[in-house]
Amino acid sequence: MKGLTETKPYREWIIRCPRLGGEVPFSYCEQESGDLPCRQVIRCWEAGFPVAEYLRETLMPDAWERFCGLIPKDRMTTILDVALAAGERQKK
């Protein structure tokens, strides 16, 4: 991914943060959770550049794995999980 960071200064790009309600640079999103990116960074930035690929290559492997555990599920997956859990409770 050598060319990715050399050709585009992603860390300086600005976007409106849906969580904070104001504008923030990608560098903030990249470190919002201390040593991990914001859990919504992929959802917010994926239209602008290949953010998942960038993070996978810039984070340490253990940090990438911890980050992957933070990524929120999409709405449909969440709805299906809730429905399945309700069905399991009904069976018991």
- Dump pLDDT digits (tens) for 59-77: 999 999 888 887 666 777 7
Give the model's pLDDT for residue 88: 82
Task: Report the C-alpha gap between 2 and 5 in whole angstroms.
Answer: 6
Domain containing 22 equals 2-91
Report the candidate in 73, 66, 76, 71 with the shortest Cα–Cα distance to residue 40.
71
Give the model's pLDDT for residue 60: 92
Q: Decide: pTM greater than 0.75.
A: no
What is the number of domains present in the chain?
A: 1
Give the model's pLDDT for residue 73: 65
